[in-house]
Structure 1
Amino acid sequence: MYRDQRFPASPSARRAATACLKQLSATDVECACLDTSPYGAFRIISRILRQDAAIKEKVWVVEACEGSHSEAPVEAGREPSSASAWPFWLRNDPSQPKLPLLYLLKSESVAGLRAAMLEAQDGGIFLNAAEIADSRWAKSVQPDVPLWLGGSAQRIPYDPASGLETLAVVRAAMRRLYLDGRPAFIYLSLHDDKQSAPAPPRTLVHHAYKGMYRLRAARASARPRIRLLGAGKALGQVFRAADILRRDWQVESDIWSCPSYTGLARDGHAAAHWNMLHPASRRKVPHVQACLGSGATPIIAVTGYGQHVARQIGEFVPARFVALGSDSNAGSNGSPEAEWIVAVTIKALADDGLVPAQWTREALQRYALTP
């Protein structure tokens, strides 16, 4: 089993990360990221770190196209659009400081991601903007990408839904890598859809790095209730589904943002392993269980990747659990549509005897989901 080891961060990296975090924690930065997409948040972060004279020499912000690097001149007064990976040529030189790294790329393949991470050698924050382009693949990456990302504990994937989530994950990643000295490759998938979901509360969004946090609580009511989980652009469809459930079926919804199903599953397995080895000690509770509790309300977890990504957390929740993804309903290469989420929700509630059984057939017919 991989152990999350700590290695003392170099003094130069700690000083640089502290300076970056001070800038990225400013209220005006949070406000700027509040109403933008994950990709838009990166552009804000990049601009801030590059324009500050006291910081720009203390951080590597690399922007690269798949398979190549560009050193195009920048017109006066304009933000640089790309940077070469030249800093990596010096990483084996002991006289050169190891600085915080933010690496933007557009890659739909494992080969492209592996090349970037090998280039960086000892970790960093990698942001993949492949999703801003049209593609035949779910989330604009080949199906083996999420499997590869999940195949090593040193690769920690996130699928933020909003600009503020992106900022929160980047800040937490900097603390982990350069203050706590816990090397890893932190991966974020970036989309450019500002309307995918409502902006998260600034008081809660710091929990994004842990893998999930609640965005909206169900109204206190005697009506049937469901727990809906979503990540990335799929979270927008989850909110749409919740509105339809309330309007058409009088079903209330708790809504959770889950930027990292993989991280939640790893945390669950780590807790189970620790509990096995320490039976006389106080039991560790996985973050997903701490969030969802022990209630029997059904849970629908939605992702824009294949449903296997969301299914990872199923063994750590005691209630009826259904995972949905790009392969959940025929003919969809993107996130499951809100109407499909509604129909699956109705069936889960019916299977638990919480709504009439015929509602499932009525929902499929109402939203034209039957063949």
Structure 2
Amino acid sequence: GFGGEDIFYYITLYNEPYSQPAEPENLNVEGLLKGMYLFKKSEASGPKAQILVSGVTMPEGLRAQELLADEWGVAADVWSVTSWGELRREGIEREQQALRDPGTDAPLPYVTQALSDAAGPFVAASDWMRAVADQIRQWVPGSYTTLGTDGFGFSDTRPAARRYFNVDAESIVVAVLSALAGEGTLDRSKAVEAATKYRIDDVRAAAVSYTDTGSA
């Protein structure tokens, strides 16, 4: 490594066209390096929720934010998770620190610090298996729903695949509405209405996007 440090660099490649979002204003570089930062705060009014997304699921999270604001009156902030694993490692370090020095208050894990002022339930979505986002569950300060691509043997258009695994925007919307209903903020009928409207159990109802150039 450089300067006596052992450093690993990794690059993730995707087999589909993907326009990287522009760097947000006032980018939280520290949060980006630690594994998570607030990417886009909702400008809507209404019940609050938090969406955590990573990788190619970022556009789905941003589209879910729009649908929630425009069609359901929900203000959902979108967080970019740059490394679920890094967040977990830091959380484990904090727990180990507390164990070894029980007489001193160890700093809160970064996940808890970052989300401490975030209102409403938390919904995480990615193209990974649920277990990846579940790595930080114990430090998320509130109800936490994870969506992922658990399973195998499905090959179709990318929108259909994401609908099949329920990691697309419409599925994120239903998960957020369900979580809000679970907290008593919204009536459960809203989640039922959304699930029916978007037909999230039907891969044929998934929207075809211009990026869809092959099988998932």
* TM-score normalized with structure 2 length: 0.79
1:219 aligns with 2:43: yes
Q: What is the distance in 1 between the residues matched to 2:44 and 2:173?
A: 20
- Bigger relative contact order, structure 1 or 2, given CA contacts below 8 A and separation 6+? 2
Deviations 1:76-106 (A, max 9, x none): xxxxxxxxxxxxxxxxxxxxxxxxxxxxxxx
C-alpha contact 1:224 1:354 (8 A) present in aligned 2: yes
C-alpha contact 2:87 2:110 (8 A) present in aligned 1: yes
3-state SS, counterpart of residue 187 of structure 1: coil
Identity rate, percent: 28
3-state SS, counterpart of residue 97 of structure 2: helix
Alignment of 1:70-219 (within 5 A): 177-179=1-3, 181-191=4-14, 193-195=17-19, 197-201=21-25, 203-205=27-29, 207-219=31-43
Aligned-pair RMSD on alpha carbons?
A: 2.4
Structure with max Cα Rg: 1
Q: What is the distance in 2 between the residues matched to 1:267 and 1:218?
A: 28
Q: Which residue of 2 aligns with 1:346?
A: 177
- For structure 1, the residue ranges without an aligned partner over 5 or more in a row are 1-176
How many residues align? The count is: 192
C-alpha contact 1:294 1:319 (8 A) present in aligned 2: no
Q: Residue 93 of structure 2: which of 253, 267, 270 is its match? A: 270
Letter in 2 for 1:345: V
> What is the Cα deviation at residue 196 of structure 1?
5.3
- For structure 2, the residue ranges without an aligned partner over 5 or more in a row are 155-159, 203-216
> What is the Cα deviation at residue 294 of structure 1?
6.1
Alignment of 1:234-249 (within 5 A): 234-249=57-72
Q: Which residue of 1 aligns with 2:168?
A: 337
Deviations 1:102-145 (A, max 9, x none): xxxxxxxxxxxxxxxxxxxxxxxxxxxxxxxxxxxxxxxxxxxx
* TM-score normalized with structure 1 length: 0.48
Q: What is the distance in 2 between the residues matched to 1:350 and 1:291?
A: 24
C-alpha contact 1:197 1:233 (8 A) present in aligned 2: no
Q: Which residue of 1 aligns with 2:132?
A: 309
